[in-house]
Structure 1
Amino acid sequence: MRINETNRTGMINAYNNTAKTAASKEGKHKMGKDEVQISDEALEMLRMGEDTEETPQVRKQRIQSIKQAIEDGTYQVPTDKVAEKFLSFWKKP
């Protein structure tokens, strides 16, 4: 009795190769292009950042004066401006 017939293993290999080929054809899909959209708020923030880069010394001085006022306990938060910003943000469609 023969246990290892070469014809049978050849058929198994042919079946495996056919299955791999079919799977690789199914796996190939046409890919779309990636797309990025930047909101108006982000563009505005970018423009504001460019403005501050032009005058970094003025910004540093303002930051130092605010830090000093906070340390001294004399800094007052402009609550009306904060409230206006919150309202304008939440009212946007």
Structure 2
Amino acid sequence: MKVNPMHSLNAYQKQQNVGAKKKADVNKKHDQLQISSAAKQMQEMSRITTERQEKVERIKAEIDQGTYKVDAKEVAKKFYEFWD
């Protein structure tokens, strides 16, 4: 069997070229993020969220002013409804 040193060199060069192409292909690929329409809807502020935020801001202002009053009967009623 005759060994051609040039043939083996060509195989080595071909392997390097294939490796370089793979590296180039990897560099071209990018990560992508896709958000479903349901997730987009969840991100939007709903009417309830807006109303709740307004209520929280109002209560914070009342606490800061010292005018916030706790209705003990209402608190007890909510506890009772929760544990009932």
Output the TM-score relative to the length of structure 2. 0.36
The one of the two structures with greater contact order (alpha-carbon pairs below 8 A, sep at least 6) is: 2
TM-score by length of 1: 0.34
